[in-house]
Amino acid sequence: MSGISRSLNTYYRDKARTDRMDALNKVFVQPDGLVFDVGAHVGDRTASFLRLGASVVALEPQPRVFRALRLLYGRNRAAVLLPCAAGREAGDTTLYLNTHNPTVATVTQDFIEAASGAEGWQGQTWDDSVTVPVTTLDALIARFGVPDFIKIDVEGHEADVLAGLSTGVRALSFEFTTIQRACAHDCIDRLSALGRYTFNLSLGEEHVLRHDTWLTADAVRMELDALPDDANSGDVYARLG
């Protein structure tokens, strides 16, 4: 089974996961709202946002994965699909591909170095690369408007994506990994400079917020640092107010 086929099987065939994802996204996404899906991969989150009645601008820089995304959603009038990455400034960058596991393509060597030899990351190899265009969140806002929610999942590049945002948005999420906790700290610092954000966590594929009461920046930093290494990854959610 190819890497993309495995992704489609993983992200589209688990109804319980899909139901949890929709329930969580419904907290942030309203019908007729606008969502940016940065690092859309094969579009399972894009699909969730569309089911909730939102319009979606989805970015996916991997050429082969983008073709799959376009086959799935290219005819949906509520979806705009862009074959590019996001970053701190527009231009071009090198995207490092893991052809066996395309969910972990990355534009940063720091992520690859952090994964090397780490528990749970054995056997991962970035064996190809491609040059891809880069846009910024500010440029997307200028083109499409201010989103109600931004989802960012870009394998260690999340802080650079947020560096391309100069104004606070109502809510967003960014992926974190326990092999790069400093990246999550940088994201929290950036958001704290943009507005009065509070934070929450969802681990792995749970798609459930861990806290009924949202956390301060300091509290979420402490929680991230206290997670065991085998927690591996999850999403930090942030909202204004």
Q: Sign of torsion, CA 40 123 96 139?
A: positive
CA dihedral (92, 194, 22, 65) in degrees, to 10, reads 10
What is the chain's mean pLDDT, rounded?
96
Q: Specify whether the backbone of 91 is left (phi greater than 0), alpha (psi in -120 to 50) or beta.
A: left
Judged against a pLDDT cut of 60, whether residue 237 lies above it is answered with yes
Q: How far apart are CA 73 and CA 75, in angstroms?
A: 5
Closest-CA residue to 34 (of 122, 139, 144): 144
Task: Supply the pLDDT for residue 11.
Answer: 85
13 — pLDDT class (breaks 50, 70, 90) = confident
Quick: pLDDT tens for 136-183: 999 999 999 999 999 999 999 999 999 999 999 999 999 999 999 999
* Residues with Cβ within 8 Å of residue 155, at least 6 apart in sequence: 39, 104, 105, 106, 108, 111, 175, 177
Are 219 and 198 in contact by the 8 Å Cβ rule? The answer is no
Are 31 and 78 in contact by the 8 Å Cβ rule? The answer is no
pTM of the model as a whole: 0.96
Judged against a pLDDT cut of 70, whether residue 71 lies above it is answered with yes
Q: How far apart are CA 9 and CA 180, in angstroms?
A: 27
Judged against a pLDDT cut of 70, whether residue 1 lies above it is answered with no
* Mean pLDDT score, 3-26: 91
Quick: pLDDT tens for 21-51: 999 999 999 999 999 999 999 999 999 999 9
In CATH, what number does 3-89+134-240 get?
A: 3.40.50.150
Task: Supply the pLDDT for residue 151.
Answer: 98
Closest-CA residue to 176 (of 164, 162, 166): 162
